[in-house]
A and B are shown apart, each in its own frame.
Chain A
Amino acid sequence: MSIKKTLVVIGNGMVGQHFLVNLVNNPIKEDYNIITFCEEPRAAYDRVHLSAFFSGKTAEDLSLVEPGFFEQHGITIYMGDKAAKICRDSKTVTSEKGHSIRYDKLVLATGSFPFVPPVPGHDRAQCLVYRTIEDLEAMQAAAKTGKVGVVVGGGLLGLEAANALKDLGLQTHVVEFAPRLMAVQLDDAGGAMLRTKIEALGVVVHTGKNTSLITDGEQCVNKMCFADGEELETDIVLFSAGIRPRDDIARDCALEVGPRGGIVINNQCQTSDPNIYAIGECALWNGMIYGLVAPGYAMARTVVADLAGNEASFTGADMSTKLKLMGVDVASIGDAHAKTPGALVYTYQNGDTAVYKRLVVSQDKKQLLGAVLVGDASGYGTLLQYCLNGIQLPENPDALILPSRSDESVGLGPDALPVSAQICSCYDVTKGEICKAIDAGCTSLDGLKSETKAATGCGGCAALLKSVLNSELAKQGYEVNTDLCEHFAYTRQDLYTLIRVEQIKTFADLLARYGKGKGCEICKPTVGSILASCWNDYILKTEHTPLQDTNDTYLANMQKDGTYSIVPRIAGGEISPDMLIALGQVGKKYKLYTKITGGQRVDLFGARVDQLPPIWKELIDAGFESGHAYGKSLRTVKSCVGSTWCRYGVDDSVGLAIELENRYKGLRSPHKIKFAVSGCTRECAEAQGKDVGIIATENGWNLYVCGNGGMKPRHADLFATGLDKATLIQYIDRFLSFYVRSADRLQRTSVWMENMEGGLDYLKSVVIEDKLGLCEQLEQQMQTVIDTYQCEWKTTIEDESKLKRFRHFVNSEQTDDNVVFVEERGQIRPADEQERKHFKLVEVA
């Protein structure tokens, strides 16, 4: 005979299930027989990631219930059975299928339903909502025959639904009653920026529109009529105009509900009947319905604690959100609308990159009250921590939203967070709990996730979790792992030495001796590059081909649409009219987009993979060679016109640039290498912004090293002065060989030198004074590379077996129909997604 009490949960949605999981992990479960009513045909699933259903996730993938969960814990679930009535006098729940259960404690987790405005015609065919898997199946079915879809409601969910319609291939509109998108979270300017971004993706946005009627369409199934007299034809109407709590069952048994719905609860989540709790989206706490999962989870935990007799209370929740809507980052934190009296507002708006940021700060400028981010939400984690933990703001709060144009970092490192800081709001995990798990030996991200559950909900906190982990590990003196990847427990430098000393010639050999597994896209290209630096084989030799990055495998740079660009070498930037004409003819014949690059040469874009060999054949016949724009290798040696023509020129910069480019072309290295030679100190070739820069002076050549432009520009350092050409070349040979041998993967010369103990002085002592006694070897190694140079394109077009790869399909002559060009300023460019669907293809040769 059981003396157990009975606990009934109505609703097995996200929150109901979270409640059950927490309950069975608590000893109090022993006191209860647990019964749950589940109206839907399946147990709880992840509604937050519902849209993933369209990218191939199945209902099983989305399930939140571990197999065997109910059986294992003796929970009775009445599937597909709706609780119809509660009788509080007899303490019974009766279901539609006729089950009648006497309860001691009752939990209402009935969630909410999508609000459908009572517009005439709202119940016509293909007028849908977006909440359950069945709703999505209905959308899929409707999209099969329809062409146009309209979402009513431009809030967070509406935009997510619009994205789904767009992905289903429909011409998509969003109709919003308010004057802006995401009216709850964003201000006018933020909403406008979001609108620009979303319209750029081909979704038409209509704001300030009030739908008055839905009726028969002429071209489409439906027609929407708006109060302002305008009309819009559409096949699908998807309502996403807000949610309403499912409180009927509570109303019917006279539990207190709010004036606009919602089952009223106290801080223990009890309704007006202390034996009945309400949690999740059906509950009204302090006049608020929380349409997010994290607050619902917090309520669920509160009820478990209350049942167990522990002190616990739900006292509201943070509604900050960060999400990607159609690829646009949007975030809203705290008091985004600056409703707090005296609040100060800072905004940053960049019309070019379509970024909008707004900070709401307390009157004394010490506390962050809220923020809005559109277009770039990278600061979300930091700002949220400032806001939630009341951390004092830096002196100029606007620094937090201005793009950082210097090295000064205003980010909030994980060290600055108090232990009480909540890192994961979905699972309420604090920094303290994370540190405790790390102390207990949990030192990997995956481990931390399964141990603490942090970052396993919406995932928004993953980056912050990782930085807490890294900073804690560093504090505990854990060695930072320098292994190249999981296949090699060695650094790039170690591998270089092993390959050279043991004369290893293939990846397979190296892997068999020093690695494990099959390799990956990190170690394969790294080893491919070292093998090329050491032995300079043809990189498309059968055993080397699989190692190369795509660009190297096809000896061309892949573009965003899968086509390639072609950059022939134009050493020193010097080119004869005939060669220019030849380039122009090829560009014209194959209808390629042509552009002068920043490296003083010409780039031809838009070649399909099967066009690369014929194009290169013509270029080679015209006297061109590969420009190695695809490789981590020497790129260009830029020149100024120099003493030949320039009235200030001191020496022949063009001549030297051509000689150097031909000397080092084809050299594979840890990262790309760029040179420049200027004919005088006016420096028109910008040599001080290059890995190797040379400037002519009255006394000879001055050599500069380790400069670069790019993401983090660095001025080159003066390395040696007044050199004759032979010495100059000797130093460069040694410098480059030493770089190739000792730099890390993807490390430019600047970072390599800065990380070197002793820095520039040490480098000088190795290259100039031969402190390591290496110089002869370094020169020899360079000579081998120079002696074995080949134009990879020439070798390739002469080898039938290599040309086989250059086909889009190995079993068909067809080409990729996803490659579509449109015309702009008289040349081709890749069509964007929308254009691809609508525009006609510009015929390509």
Chain B
Amino acid sequence: MSTWQSVCQLGDLQPDSGVCVLVSGLQIALFYMPQESTVYAISNYDPIGQANVLSRGIIGDIKGQPVVASPLYKQHFNLITGVCLEDETITLPVHPVRIEHGCVQISVKE
């Protein structure tokens, strides 16, 4: 079952950059691209560097896919699918996000 949960205010996000939220014990990185009015939610855990750091990576696009580059060893993760561009056997959990009245909401599968 999945339900929408409010996790923070839009103002808590960093434009063109990331922050991390704690949702039901999960660390989730939120990336905000104000120009597209898009927020992406992806696991904060970098399985390659084995640390909770992805929210602190640089975001951008590679061949049209929105990505975050891990701050540890620079692998790219697709922000929509969670797939690692350098090693397609690795996929990170991603979560649907929406903005309701200035509030960022995530749907996490329970």
Residues of A within 8 A of B (CB): 49, 51-52, 55-57, 61, 486-487, 517-521, 523-525, 542, 545-551, 553-554, 558, 560-562, 609, 804-805, 808-812, 814, 816, 818-819, 833
Query: Can you name 5 A-B pairs with beta carbons within 8 Å?
Result: A55-B47, A518-B59, A550-B56, A550-B58, A804-B12
Chain B, 39-74, contact with A by CB distance < 8 Å: what is the 0/1 string?
A: 000000101011111001111111110110101101
A521-B69, A818-B52 known; A810-B8 Cβ under 8 A: yes
Q: Is B89 engaged at the interface, CB distance under 8 Å to the other chain?
A: yes
Q: State whether B58 touches A546 (Cβ < 8 A).
A: yes
List residues of chain B with CB within 8 A of the CB of A517.
Answer: 60-61, 64
Chain B, 12-45, contact with A by CB distance < 8 Å: what is the 0/1 string?
A: 1111110111100001000001000000000001
Q: State whether A558 touches B74 (Cβ < 8 A).
A: no
A524-B58, A816-B27 known; A809-B53 Cβ under 8 A: no
Selected contact of A549 from candidates B49, B51, B67, B71, CB within 8 Å: B71
A542-B15, A810-B12 known; A554-B60 Cβ under 8 A: no
Q: State whether B74 touches A521 (Cβ < 8 A).
A: yes
Selected contact of B17 from candidates A518, A545, A551, A819, CB within 8 Å: A545
Residue of B with least CB distance to A58: B91
List residues of chain A with CB within 8 A of the CB of B50.
Answer: 833
Q: Is B99 engaged at the interface, CB distance under 8 Å to the other chain?
A: no
Q: Is B108 engaged at the interface, CB distance under 8 Å to the other chain?
A: no
A808-B20, A811-B8, A812-B22 known; A818-B58 Cβ under 8 A: no
Query: A486 CA to B65 CA in the complex, in Å?
Result: 12
Q: 14 more A-B contacts (CB under 8 A) besides A52-B89, A519-B61?
A: A49-B89, A55-B47, A61-B91, A518-B66, A520-B61, A521-B57, A521-B58, A524-B60, A546-B17, A553-B17, A562-B52, A804-B12, A810-B13, A811-B8
Query: A269 CA to B73 CA in the complex, in Å?
Result: 46
List residues of chain A with CB within 8 A of the CB of B91.
Answer: 55-57, 61
List residues of chain B with CB within 8 A of the CB of A525.
Answer: 58
Q: State whether A810 touches B61 (Cβ < 8 A).
A: no
List residues of chain A with CB within 8 A of the CB of B27.
Answer: 809, 816
Q: State whether B67 touches A520 (Cβ < 8 A).
A: yes
Selected contact of B59 from candidates A51, A546, A609, A816, CB within 8 Å: A546
Which 9 pairs of residues, A with B, have the shortest CB-CB distance?
A550-B71, A52-B89, A521-B69, A546-B16, A520-B60, A562-B51, A521-B58, A56-B91, A810-B12
List residues of chain B with CB within 8 A of the CB of A810.
Answer: 8, 12-13, 19-21
Q: Is B7 engaged at the interface, CB distance under 8 Å to the other chain?
A: yes
List residues of chain A with CB within 8 A of the CB of B45.
Answer: 818
Query: A55 CA to B63 CA in the complex, in Å?
Result: 24
List residues of chain A with CB within 8 A of the CB of B69.
Answer: 520-521
Q: State whether A558 touches B53 (Cβ < 8 A).
A: yes
Query: A520 CA to B82 CA in the complex, in Å?
Result: 17
Q: State whether A816 touches B57 (Cβ < 8 A).
A: no
Residue of A with least CB distance to B31: A546
Nearest CB of chain B from residue A692's CB, rounded to whole Å: 29
Query: A596 CA to B93 CA in the complex, in Å?
Result: 40
Selected contact of B53 from candidates A56, A549, A562, CB within 8 Å: A562
List residues of chain B with CB within 8 A of the CB of A51.
Answer: 89
Q: State whether A545 touches B64 (Cβ < 8 A).
A: no
Query: A542 CA to B63 CA in the complex, in Å?
Result: 26
Nearest CB of chain A from residue B42's CB, rounded to whole Å: 12
List residues of chain A with CB within 8 A of the CB of B62.
Answer: 486, 520
A520-B62, A818-B45 known; A811-B51 Cβ under 8 A: no
List residues of chain A with CB within 8 A of the CB of B49.
Answer: 560
Residue of A with least CB distance to B47: A55
Residue of A with least CB distance to B67: A520
Nearest CB of chain B from residue A90's CB, rounded to whole Å: 46
Query: A837 CA to B16 CA in the complex, in Å?
Result: 35
Query: A519 CA to B52 CA in the complex, in Å?
Result: 24
Residue of B with least CB distance to A55: B90
List residues of chain A with CB within 8 A of the CB of B13.
Answer: 810
